[in-house]
């Protein structure tokens, strides 16, 4: 009962924030930043399921984002597929690949997944960089427009590109968060959380440990893929940077910063790490320094991540 | 809710327009890759842009109006570059943009510039930036294709028609490799061996050995930048090649000779700009004045030599300043029109003449064929 109420409360807060933020936007540029935050948050929500629920670490999630992004670039160009369907195709390919990689590895205990995904991410990025004839190499390639905005214009609703993608990414994030919160409360979610606590204990009560880990990994890969697709569609252009190792690290950092166990924390982590470089442009040289310092402080003083730590502090005072 | 948003927007926009008019200033935007993997391009570019804006303002600005520069560092990430381009146009309300150190970041910015009608001068090499011509997009660096053509012309002058290529897989190397392969046929050059290496590789002996073992190779061409070409050149000397080696404009800097070592670099040929050989230029050379003045100013301020890439940024700022002065207006459209009418403008890279069909405005004469001799440069043509 309380869990269900908590779920709707979190979703309502998220929806209100997304809808109300444009009221204080001084220019169109803020729509762009907002859309970026939502897209990043979507992939981080996926990581919350993997890291926070199943207790596994992936250092190659940008690889899935890359697959999603390039699916939207390649499928329309080579297969004549609509970019919107290409997003689905990318998600399916990412899910299948995650299944293929995860199946043998997740039978092992420990952090083998981190090592395997590290290799996977680098592989994807190398293929995208070196298969010049197909992907355009390091220079990247153009992504077809999804064609929805002209459709809306014909229906008499004129909105700018920034506003459009703000809306689409916001809705995608809401759906993603809703599904993640549902999973959290489901038997599957409880099984995943059990194995995060203790794999031995979980297996003695009849949970198929490998199967649950694999499920979390595949789900999170699909999240990253969809986020990658949305980013590519929004930018109208994609380069191999999206599958780069630093992007993977950035995602994990966002998840850890916000609090790996919490969906709203994921959004918060993504928001902070997306906003920081924008706020720090005035002293760009110190950007990495501030970023590193923030991470260290959070890890030392709030090992649970920002949101859970703050919530505990507030609750503690209240009692 | 919608109306409130609109009203708030209108009020804010109105305020922005008012403050802009009251101050009488030229808002110039830039997004370059001052850090990250492309920092060797973006760092000297950022320094140059900042230095030149200071110089122009110290000299009383353009028509008495000061330039207010907003410079962002996109770290070589096209996604960030697009965000910064949005910010420059929507939030900072600039009248022109310089930037896009790499082809990827340039493509991210040019969509925005084209959509919003803001003149944009790119600092990246790919021919796809100006071909097909986009109304608001110009660029200052010669294309990679021109570098290939310049090298092939020099090869043919020495009766070399069969070559081996060894290219870096980084953006620069891969792009130039593709361009060279495209124009080789037209130039009557046959590529017998085509090897690649990763930008972080520490030894290219196997690839070079394969080229050496290929029957009929008369010269080796190495498109790439950074440490890769230096290692290739060292390995090349160690393997005792007797055929000539050509490098690209990507390593046209004294740092390359230092990194490679004087002996190994001896006799290497490459296309470079006048900027690299400022002290070798004849005083009546049209580029003598602009090159020596810029080099002196840059050295005085930063205590290092400006690179070829720094020169691209110099020319971009100089072209814009010239166009704004001629337009007599800070309207983006007026600046664009004036920019397109630029004719015979001497920069450090070459002499620019833009037309509605040509937004690069350079020809092969912008490149000078150079040879490394005694640890320094020698002009061949």
B307 with B266, same domain: the answer is no
The answer as to whether B283 is a domain residue is: no
**Nearest C-alpha of chain B: how many angstroms from A96?**
27
User: Which pLDDT band, with edges at 50, 70 and 90, does B11 fall under?
Assistant: very low
Which residues in chain B touch residue A30, judged by CB atoms under 8 angstroms apart?
91
Mean pLDDT of B100-114: 89
Mean pLDDT of B32-41: 85
pLDDT score, position B16: 42
Nearest CA in chain B to A37: B83
Q: Over 90: is that where the pLDDT of B104 sits?
A: no
Which residues in chain B touch residue A161, judged by CB atoms under 8 angstroms apart?
115
B317 with B265, same domain: the answer is no
Q: What is the residue-averaged pLDDT of chain B? A: 88
Q: Over 80: is that where the pLDDT of B243 sits?
A: yes
Residue ranges making up the domain that contains B374: 145-278+367-379
B38 with B69, same domain: the answer is yes
User: Which pLDDT band, with edges at 50, 70 and 90, does B8 fall under?
Assistant: very low
pLDDT score, position A156: 74
pTM, two decimals, is 0.84
Sign of CA dihedral B43, B93, B358, B176: positive
The answer as to whether B269 is a domain residue is: yes
B175 touches A: beta carbon within 8 Å: yes
User: Which pLDDT band, with edges at 50, 70 and 90, does B305 fall under?
Assistant: confident
How far apart (Å, rounded) are the C-alpha atoms in residues B239 and A154? 67
B98 with B180, same domain: the answer is no
B88 with B117, same domain: the answer is yes
pLDDT score, position A172: 96
The answer as to whether B273 is a domain residue is: yes
Q: Over 50: is that where the pLDDT of B3 sits?
A: no
The answer as to whether B49 is a domain residue is: yes
Containing B121, the helix (H) or strand (E) segment is strand B120-122
Cβ atoms of residues A268 and A313 within 8 Å = no
The answer as to whether B284 is a domain residue is: no
B233 with B374, same domain: the answer is yes
B7 with B138, same domain: the answer is yes
Q: CA separation (Å) from B44 to A280, B144, B254, B280, B324?
A: 21, 20, 14, 22, 24
CATH number of the domain within which B149 lies: 3.40.50.2300
The answer as to whether B350 is a domain residue is: yes
Which stretches of chain B are DSSP H helices? Answer: 2-23, 39-58, 78-86, 103-116, 144-157, 171-187, 205-213, 227-238, 254-260, 262-265, 288-302, 308-327, 332-340
Which residues in chain B touch residue A66, judged by CB atoms under 8 angstroms apart?
none
B35 touches A: beta carbon within 8 Å: yes
Cβ atoms of residues A71 and A88 within 8 Å = no
Which residues in chain A touch residue B38, judged by CB atoms under 8 angstroms apart?
none
Nearest CB partner across the interface for B174, out of A27, A132, A278: A132
The per-residue b/e assignment along A63-81, b for 16 or more CB within 10 angstroms, e otherwise, is: bbbbbbbbbbbbbbbeeeb
Sign of CA dihedral A141, A144, A146, A148: positive
Nearest to B107 by CA among B83, B132, B78: B78
Q: What pLDDT, in 10s, does the model give residues A48-57? A: 999 888 888 8
pLDDT score, position B348: 92
B178 with B34, same domain: the answer is no
**Nearest C-alpha of chain B: how many angstroms from A235?**
7
Mean pLDDT of B264-290: 89
How far apart (Å, rounded) are the C-alpha atoms in residues B185 and A229? 38
Q: CA separation (Å) from A302 to A175, A298, A310?
A: 29, 5, 8
Nearest CB partner across the interface for B83, out of A32, A137, A139: A32
**Residue in B3, B50, B104 to test binding to A, most A beta-carbons within 10 Å:** B104
Torsion of the alpha carbons at A199, A201, A203 and A204, rounded to the nearest 10:
160
Q: CA separation (Å) from A245 to A139, B151, B325?
A: 18, 36, 46
Q: What pLDDT, in 10s, does the model give residues B346-377? A: 999 999 999 999 999 898 888 899 999 988 88
Report the complex ipTM: 0.83
pLDDT score, position A258: 85
**Nearest C-alpha of chain A: how many angstroms from B346?**
29
pLDDT score, position B170: 79
B181 with B137, same domain: the answer is no
- The angle formed by the CA atoms of residues A23, A25 and A29, to the nearest 5 degrees, is 145
pLDDT score, position A159: 74
Could you tell me how many CB contacts below 8 A there are between chain A and chain B?
97
* Domains in chain A with CATH codes: 9-18+29-318 (1.10.3470)
Q: CA separation (Å) from A27 to B71, B94, B161, B201, B275?
A: 19, 13, 57, 46, 41
pLDDT score, position B169: 84
Instruction: With CB atoms and an 8 Å threshold, state whether A139 touches B171.
Output: yes
Cβ atoms of residues A201 and A38 within 8 Å = no
Mean pLDDT of B123-137: 89
**Residue in B41, B47, B87 to test binding to A, most A beta-carbons within 10 Å:** B87
Instruction: With CB atoms and an 8 Å threshold, state whether A284 touches B171.
Output: no
Cβ atoms of residues B316 and B260 within 8 Å = no
pLDDT score, position A317: 62
The answer as to whether B247 is a domain residue is: yes
**Nearest C-alpha of chain A: how many angstroms from B176?**
11
Beta-carbon contacts of residue B214 (< 8 Å; ≥ 6 apart): B164, B192, B193
Number of domains in chain B: 2
pLDDT score, position A113: 85
B234 with B273, same domain: the answer is yes
With H, G, I as helix, E, B as strand and everything else as coil, classify residue B200: coil
Q: Over 70: is that where the pLDDT of B255 sits?
A: yes
B222 with B82, same domain: the answer is no
Q: What pLDDT, in 10s, does the model give residues B143-196? A: 888 999 999 999 999 999 999 999 988 778 888 898 899 999 999 999 999 999
The answer as to whether B297 is a domain residue is: yes
Nearest to A138 by CA among B38, B236, B314: B38
What parts of chain A have a pLDDT lower than 70? 1-5, 283-284, 317-319
pLDDT score, position B20: 42
**Nearest C-alpha of chain B: how many angstroms from A281?**
6
B187 with B152, same domain: the answer is yes
């Amino acid at each position: 009962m309380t869990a269900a109420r908590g779920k709707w409360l979190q979703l309502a807060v998220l929806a209100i924030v997304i809808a109300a933020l444009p009221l204080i936007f001084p220019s169109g540029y803020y729509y762009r930043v907002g859309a970026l935050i939502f897209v990043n948050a979507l992939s981080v929500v996926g990581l919350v399921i993997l890291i926070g629920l199943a207790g596994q670490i992936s250092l190659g999630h940008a690889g899935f984002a890359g697959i999603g992004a390039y699916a939207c670039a390649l499928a329309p160009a080579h297969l004549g597929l609509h970019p919107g369907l290409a997003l689905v195709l990318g998600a399916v390919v990412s899910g299948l690949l995650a299944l293929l990689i995860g199946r043998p590895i997740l039978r092992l205990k420990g952090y083998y997944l981190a090592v395997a995904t590290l290799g996977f991410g680098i592989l994807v990025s190398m293929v995208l960089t070196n298969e010049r004839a197909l992907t355009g190499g390091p220079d990247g390639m153009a992504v077809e427009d999804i064609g929805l905005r002209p459709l809306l214009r014909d229906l008499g609703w004129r909105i700018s590109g920034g506003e459009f993608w703000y809306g689409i990414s916001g809705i995608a994030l809401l759906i993603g968060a809703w599904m993640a919160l549902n999973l959290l409360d489901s038997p599957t979610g409880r099984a995943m959380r059990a194995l995060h606590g203790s794999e031995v204990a979980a297996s003695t009560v009849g949970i198929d440990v490998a199967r649950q880990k694999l499920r979390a990994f595949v789900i999170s890969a699909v999240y990253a893929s969809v986020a990658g697709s949305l980013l590519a569609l929004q930018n109208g252009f994609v380069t191999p940077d999206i599958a780069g190792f630093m992007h993977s690290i950035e995602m994990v950092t966002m998840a850890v910063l916000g609090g790996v166990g919490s969906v709203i924390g994921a959004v918060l982590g993504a928001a902070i790490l997306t906003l920081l470089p924008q706020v720090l442009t005035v002293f760009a040289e110190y950007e990495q320094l501030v970023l590193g310092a923030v991470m260290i402080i959070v890890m030392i003083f709030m090992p649970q991540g920002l949101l859970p730590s703050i919530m505990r502090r507030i609750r503690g005072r209240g009692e | 809710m919608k109306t409130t948003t609109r009203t708030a927007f209108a009020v804010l926009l109105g305020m922005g327009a008012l403050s802009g008019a009251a101050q009488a200033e030229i808002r110039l935007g830039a997004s370059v890759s001052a850090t990250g993997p492309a920092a060797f391009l973006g760092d000297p570019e950022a320094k140059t842009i900042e230095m030149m804006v200071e110089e122009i303002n110290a000299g009383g600005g353009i028509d008495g109006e000061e330039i207010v520069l907003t410079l962002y560092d996109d770290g070589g990430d096209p996604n960030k570059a697009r965000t910064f381009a949005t910010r420059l146009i929507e939030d900072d309300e600039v009248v022109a943009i310089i930037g896009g150190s790499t082809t990827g970041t340039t493509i991210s910015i040019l969509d925005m510039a084209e959509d919003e009608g803001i003149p944009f001068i790119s600092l990246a090499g790919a021919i796809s930036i100006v071909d097909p011509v986009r109304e608001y997009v110009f660029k200052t660096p010669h294309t990679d294709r021109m570098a290939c053509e310049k090298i092939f012309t020099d090869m043919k002058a020495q009766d070399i028609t069969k070559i081996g290529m060894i290219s870096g897989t980084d953006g620069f190397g891969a792009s130039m490799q593709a361009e060279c392969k495209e124009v080789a046929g037209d130039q009557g050059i046959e590529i017998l061996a085509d090897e690649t290496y990763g930008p972080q590789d520490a030894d290219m002996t196997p690839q070079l050995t394969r080229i050496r073992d290929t029957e009929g190779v008369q010269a080796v061409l190495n498109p790439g930048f950074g440490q890769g070409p230096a290692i290739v050149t060292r390995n090349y000397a160690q393997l005792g090649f007797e055929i000539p080696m050509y490098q690209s404009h990507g390593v046209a800097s004294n740092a390359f000779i230092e990194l490679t070592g004087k002996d190994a670099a001896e006799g290497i040929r490459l296309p470079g700009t006048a900027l690299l050989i400022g002290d070798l230029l004849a005083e009546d050379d049209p580029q003598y004045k602009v090159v020596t003045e810029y080099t002196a100013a840059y050295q005085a301020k930063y205590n290092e030599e400006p690179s070829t890439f720094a020169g691209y940024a110099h020319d971009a700022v100089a072209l814009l300043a010239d166009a704004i002065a001629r337009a007599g207006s800070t309207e983006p459209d007026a600046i664009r029109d004036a920019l397109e009418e630029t004719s015979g403008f001497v920069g450090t890279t070459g002499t620019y003449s833009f037309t509605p069909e040509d937004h690069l405005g350079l020809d092969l004469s912008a490149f000078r064929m150079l040879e490394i001799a005694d640890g320094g440069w020698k002009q061949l043509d």
